[in-house]
Amino acid sequence: MWRFLALLLTCAVASWTAPPARANDYSLLWQPFNASAFAPDDRRMLQTALAYEGFYTGLLDGAWGSFSQRALQAYVDQNFPNTPVENAHAADVILTFLKPLADEGWQIRYFPAYALSLLVPEKTIRTDPGSDGFANFSTAGGALRISMTSGSLAQALRLHDFTLRFGTGAHEPYVVRNDHLLITSVFAADGRPMYTRSDNHGGWWSTVILSSDTADRNVVGMVSSSIAMGAGRPIQFVTGGLLDQSIRTLAALLDDPTLNGNDTAVANNAGPGQSAPPASPSSGSGFYVDAGGEVLTNAHVVEGCGHIFVDHAPATLVQTSTEFDLALLRTPAPTKQGVARFAPQTARLNSDVTVAGFPLSGILGGLNVTRGAVSSLTGMGGNAIEMQITAPVQPGNSGGPVLAADGSVVGVVVAKLNAQRVADAIGDIPQNVNFAIRGEIAKLFLTVNGVQPAMTVDDSRLSPEALADLATSFTVFIECNP
């Protein structure tokens, strides 16, 4: 299939001037690859796929510099000679990677005992017997081996000396030595790799050692590139983003029955280790309600989460209410950010409101603020738990605060009316019909669960800019990983 694509790309580039108008417009594929047009998660996914193929050995951080660009160029030069780098090639890298991604179950796993995370093939990894203070893991047949331990700096240095002795003079070792990080990467005479990394945790060092057979040396490179202090973010691409669009278009062009029409392969965020349809990583919004680190959000934002992160830091679920669609989270340390204050009274009809949150995070990025008014004091069908607002909201706004003109919380964003379904039913498109859990309901939920909500003491109207600054101080980004 890929040889056919290489021929197709070569012919298309040689003769293409402008694509004809047609139902399937493939011109997106022939656009020059521009990394800045791809979301950070898209770029990180590309780096991972290139690492799996052996073209990339840098960090899987989504920062696309000359090193990443050279890796993609090398992939294109090998597989599609004499063609410029285009969106089609980025899509091809991912399509090539999707099968091992699903079959082997690659995803980020956090190891709290060593305060680090890394990519592991969850479907093929096994836990081996421990030895001399090491936790050991390997894949079937021992092709990939992972060992972890912790101890003093002297112990870590001995492991790096051992790694250096494993290597040979035929391959120059890669060595990093500083106060916070030790890295030793070598190859044996037969090409078998060994990679050892130690991180300083302020008094103790965690060490991870990777090795494999010669045929799997690319895998060691990918895993070593994924190592991060703390809980790492999942490897995924953005639903509806440029990479997703390119993959869909390329799948349609190839007319491959294993891809084309199989939305579960390309429509979702395609998180590591997920086959179709995955329990996809998702995101939402929330806000601090207590200086101790408690965060309020929607229950549906964290439903089914195996791991929850607040601003990329691990968090735990304290309590949920399916009736109110609210959830209370706890972060591991007191917040250094602000704490939201609630309005003592119910929001009034037609009063101004501001919504803060992280909608469409993979596309928009960063905190987003919109403005509107309270258009109804009840929700759909007279639901007294909710109120209706006109401030625009998108997927990802769920759980974010609804603020009155003085900056006090009067609601928690919960839903938007599905305009397409309503249009299909009544023949008209509704405008700005969005819903929030009423502030008094949120206060009741917090009180029942041991959090005394802070109340505003100054009802002075704030400027729009001051409102945005205030919202920024306590609104947080919430990630849900299966």
List pLDDT tens digits, range 445-465.
998 888 999 999 888 999 999
Please say whether the beta carbons of 48 and 97 come within 8 A.
yes
Report the percentage of the chain scoring pLDDT > 90: 51
Looking at residue 23, its pLDDT comes to 36
Mean pLDDT on 104-133: 90
177 DSSP β-pair partners: 182
Structural domain includes residue 410: yes
Return the higher-pLDDT residue of 33 and 481.
Answer: 33
Of all helices (H) and strands (E), which one includes residue 413? strand 409-416
Distances from the Cα of 224 to the Cα of 44, 195, 197, 213, 409, angstroms: 14, 7, 8, 15, 44
pTM here is 0.51
Mean pLDDT on 222-238: 88
Structural domain includes residue 299: yes
Looking at residue 199, its pLDDT comes to 93
Q: Please tell me whether residues 200 and 218 are part of one structural domain.
A: yes
Per-residue model confidence as pLDDT tens digits over 381-432: 778 889 999 998 888 899 999 999 999 999 999 875 544 444 444 444 445 6
Looking at residue 330, its pLDDT comes to 94
Mean pLDDT on 259-269: 29
The tokens for 241 are 């983003």
Q: Residue 350 — very low, low, confident or very high, per pLDDT cuts 50/70/90?
A: very high
Rounded to the nearest integer, the mean pLDDT of the chain is 82
What domain count does the chain have?
4
Per-residue model confidence as pLDDT tens digits over 165-206: 988 766 789 999 999 999 999 999 888 899 999 999 988 999
Structural domain includes residue 338: no
Looking at residue 83, its pLDDT comes to 81
Structural domain includes residue 272: no
Mean pLDDT on 159-169: 88
Q: Please tell me whether residues 416 and 357 are part of one structural domain.
A: yes
Q: Name the amino acid, one letter, at 438.
A: R
Return the higher-pLDDT residue of 45 and 268.
Answer: 45
Q: Residue 20 — very low, low, confident or very high, per pLDDT cuts 50/70/90?
A: very low
User: Structural domain of residue 388, as residue ranges?
Assistant: 352-448+455-476
CATH of the domain at 317: 2.40.10.10
Exposure letters 305-333 (e unless 16+ CB within 10 A, then b): bebbbbbeeebeeebbbeebbbbbbbbee
